[in-house]
Structure 1
Amino acid sequence: MASEYSLADVLERMYENQLALEAAIMELVLWTEERGELTTGGNVRGALQTLGENAGHIKQGLAKLKKQDRQ
């Protein structure tokens, strides 16, 4: 049963989860900053920046895996 899912498929789902979590956390940051917690908002924005940077690498890695799967 597990063989139905390729590594690229599983990693793509994890990538999509990362994007969803990033969006949800950004909503919380905006809510927090509206209430005057700018330091907390700034700290979380720093973490979100790291998520965004890593998302690019993940997307490139997924593209390479998918290309290998097709060959």
Structure 2
Amino acid sequence: MAMTHQRRLYVAYGPAGAVGTVREIEDGIFAVTMAGADAPVGQYEGIGVAKNALVSHLRPGSDRPEFREH
């Protein structure tokens, strides 16, 4: 029996709504895209690293967003 890997998608929500996404593009590799952007800001190994990368692209002083898996 063949096993398939379902790609994961997380949406980051701040006080005013969605601020970006973290999408698994390969096993363990995640692309970070900020809300309103046409292209990802980068690709990162590991979900924790990708979430931190998204946070680093927010305006200084922004609260850490809530990440919800979709």
After TM superposition, the score normalised by the length of structure 2 is 0.27
After TM superposition, the score normalised by the length of structure 1 is 0.27
Judging by fraction of residues, say which structure has more strand: 2
Give the number of the structure whose alpha-carbon radius of gyration is greater. 1
